[in-house]
Every structure is written in C-alpha cells, then in structure tokens.
Amino acid sequence: MIEKKFVADKLREFKIQEFITETVKKVGHSHTKLIKTPLGEKIIIYTSRPGLVVGRKGQNIKKITSALKKRFHLENPQVEISEVENPNLDAQIVAENIASSLERFGLSRFKGVGHKMMSEVMNAGARGIEIVISGKIPSSRARRWRFYQGYLKKCGDIAVSGVRKAYSTAELKTGTVGIVVKIMPPDIRLPDDIKIRPAVAETEKDDETAKEAAKSETKEDVEKAPAKEEKEEKKKSKKVSKKKAEEIKPKKKKAAKKKE
C-alpha cells in the first residue's frame, strides 16, 4: 500500500509538471519543482522571462493556481517564479528557442538557427554542445541534421548525470520536427582532470628545508631528553657515592689506631 502511494504521488508530480510546461510554452520555461510544505504544495517555475509568465497583475499565476486546484485537487498551491541566471546554458530553454525560431522563419534558415544557437551556448562558457534536428528538413524526405562543437561526453556516469539534455518539437507545414539538445556545462568535474602544482622557487625550497631540519632537531631533542636525564642522575649518584667513601676512610683509620 505504501509503495502504491509513493507511485501515485510521483505520477501526480509528473502530470503537474507536464501541465505547467504546456501552459507556459514558448516563454523560456526551463523546469518545474514541486515542494511539500506544512501550508500546502509549493510549485517553483524556473524561466528565463519571468515577466511573461507572471502576466499583467499576476493574471497568469492566478489562472495556473485555479487550474491546479480544479484539475489536481490541490488545497493550497503556492506558485513562485524563479529566473534562470544563464539561459544559454539551460538545454530546455535552448531547445524551445530553436523550435520557436523554426516556426517563425521556416525551414529555409534552419542551418543558420542551429549555428547561431551553438555559438551562443559556447560563448556562454559551455564545454560542448550537440543539436540534433530531425524531420522533413528541408525536403519532403525525413532527415537528421546534427550540429556539434566542443567536448561532449557520450558514455559513463557523467554522460547520464552531468550532461544536460532536453527535447522539444516544432509544428511546421511539412509536419512535426523534433529537436534534441545536449549541453556539457562548464562547472562539471571530469574524472580525468589532473591539476599540477606550480614549481616552488629555490628560496622557498631552502626555507622549507630549514624548517624541516629545525622540526627534526626538536623531535630528536624531545626523544633524547629522558636519556640525558638518566645520565645526569647516574653521574650525581656516582659523585655522592665517592663523597661517602672518602668520609668513611678516615673513620676506619682512626678506629684502627685506637685498637693498636
């Protein structure tokens, strides 16, 4: 029963995300997060153009909240809008921009659109990008056009978790055109990245060797301290025994003279 409840919650979250992507289409929508709070469900919409999502006097947000209440039976949904810092590094926003430009300018400029978006993403600091446009472009026969630049992982854990992927569609006269975008962000850390420390100057080396020698001398002194104390105690005991022997000798001589 518990497993069924978890599955039902996840399905509802997925349906809410799909509903928001459909309602906020072609406005630079990136992704949606759903967080459960004591007051109710908190829905955060990440977009590159928050003003268009909010609308005049928050009309769009009011429509979204009322639709969520009716369609998904949410008691108190709180819709928030968050702006994406760098939209050129977000794969979903790039895919939506390509789809909207194809619908606006048609198939005659699809190569220019692909190269332009690719250069913008690389100028934003991405390590690599791949754009795949598939459909009846430019003729009546379906084809796949691939635009790529930079370094992009194709296999391994980083290709699954590190590379950002997004899908979008453009409705044209010839039919539906699919767009796939893969971006490798600049802040990702690869397992084969090796950092080499800079060479240390000779003066710094001499200072380090002197410090190490001083540390070793202090360690040796600390280790030899108990042995020195033992030697000094033995010397003191020997001196005391000699003094006692010298004091005892004249007493013995006086005793021997008295006997005589």
User: pLDDT tens for residues 91-137?
Assistant: 999 999 999 898 888 888 888 999 999 999 999 999 999 999 999 88
pLDDT, mean of residues 188-199: 80
Q: Domain end: 62, 84, 106, which one?
A: 84
Determine contact, residues 128/117, Cβ cutoff 8 Å. Answer: no
Please report whether residue 214 resides in a domain.
Answer: no
- 180 and 96, same structural domain? yes
Amino acid 141: pLDDT: 85
Please report whether residue 107 resides in a domain.
Answer: yes
- 65 and 127, same structural domain? no
Domain that holds residue 95: 88-184
Assign residue 133 the CATH number of its domain.
3.30.1140.32
pLDDT, mean of residues 169-194: 88
Determine contact, residues 225/164, Cβ cutoff 8 Å. Answer: no
Question: CA 115, 120, 122: angle at the middle one, nearest 5?
Answer: 95
Amino acid 228: pLDDT: 59
Assign residue 79 the CATH number of its domain.
3.30.300.20
Q: Domain end: 33, 60, 84, which one?
A: 84
pLDDT, mean of residues 2-10: 84
Main-chain dihedrals φ then ψ at residue 166, nearest 5 degrees: -155, 150
Domains in the chain: how many in total?
A: 2
> Percent of the chain, pLDDT > 90?
19
Residue range 25-84, pLDDT digits in tens: 878 888 888 888 888 888 899 988 888 888 888 888 888 888 888 888 888 888 888 888
Q: Is pLDDT above 80 for 1?
A: no
pTM: 0.68
User: What gap in Å lies between CA 169 and CA 178, rounded to an integer?
Assistant: 5
Q: Nearest to residue 137, comparing CAs of 166, 105, 89? A: 105
Q: Is pLDDT above 70 for 238?
A: no
Q: Domain end: 184, 204, 220, which one?
A: 184
Determine contact, residues 130/147, Cβ cutoff 8 Å. Answer: yes
How are the residues of the chain apportioned to helix, strand and coil, as percentages rounded to the nearest 5? 55, 20, 25
- 99 and 44, same structural domain? no
